[in-house]
Amino acid sequence: MQIRPTEWQGVYSDGSWLLTRNLNPGVSVYGESLHLEGGVEYRRWDVNRSKLAAYLKCGGRVWPYDDATSVLYLGGGNGTTVSHLSDICRQGTITAIEISPRAFRDLLKVSEARPNVLPILGDAAKPEMYGNRTSPASVLYQDIAQRDQAAIFRRNLGWLRPGGTGFLMIKARSEDVAANPVEVYEAAKRELMAAGVRILDRRVLAPYQTDHAVLVVKKP
């Protein structure tokens, strides 16, 4: 197969696989395979490990990311998706908030070789605690495993620039283990609409991510 650019800026394909151009050549972040073509190294983007990649494979079309995009990423985890956004937004900034000290250590290691990643140990539910260390971003991205996910997203909308795009990755079982996931997604949609944002896309991430969906919104 030949590696080709896709319709999503900064994302490439090799048959059915998605890839990003490695900002840190020779280094695999989470065990993903590396591919060299035309003197350029690419990293395979695992759709079973990254909800943003799953969004694309499930037909997502809203793509506000480019070379200079600034992202406020809530729930940076071990840095899997953060690292691919770092590949894509090469001249931008990925400010990644993570509450778990264990995951943060991995995230910090990822950032050491990626100057466009700024990791912050903090609680996404308390944006006032890290607000003085960040600035308004063009994309707000949230992927956290706790209750009140839409409410936390709303609290952070102040850090999204007017006209900016938000991605809320909804984990239904983290919100309410007994609830119907569809009802959880719809409740989150209603809450965000009440916050005054416009819904651009709502997409379930099966079969790649069970009981997960993404809401993509635009801030007025």
Query: Do residues 112 and 63 touch, judged by C-beta distance below 8 A?
Result: no
Q: Residue 198 pLDDT > 90, yes or no?
A: yes
Residue 57 has a pLDDT of 97
The two three-digit tokens of residue 203, written as one number: 């997409």
Q: Residue 103 pLDDT > 90, yes or no?
A: yes
The region that residue 163 occupies, defined by phi over 0 for left and psi between -120 and 50 for alpha, beta otherwise, is left
pLDDT tens column, 130-141 = 888 888 999 999
pLDDT tens column, 12-23 = 999 999 999 999
Mean pLDDT, rounded, for 143-161: 96
Q: Residue 126 pLDDT > 80, yes or no?
A: yes
- Would strands 117-121 and 40-45 be described as parallel, antiparallel, or unpaired? unpaired
Mean pLDDT, rounded, for 54-60: 97
- Indicate the CATH number for domain 51-218: 3.40.50.150
Class of domain 4-45: alpha beta
Residue 134 has a pLDDT of 87
The whole-chain average pLDDT of the chain stands at 96
All structural domains of the chain with their residue ranges: 4-45, 51-218
pLDDT tens column, 84-102 = 999 999 999 999 999 999 9
Residue 178 has a pLDDT of 85
> Percentage of the chain surpassing pLDDT 70?
100
Which of 160, 215, 207 lies closest to 190, judged by CA?
215
Preceding omega of 207 cis (within 30 degrees of 0)? yes
pLDDT tens column, 112-125 = 999 999 999 999 99
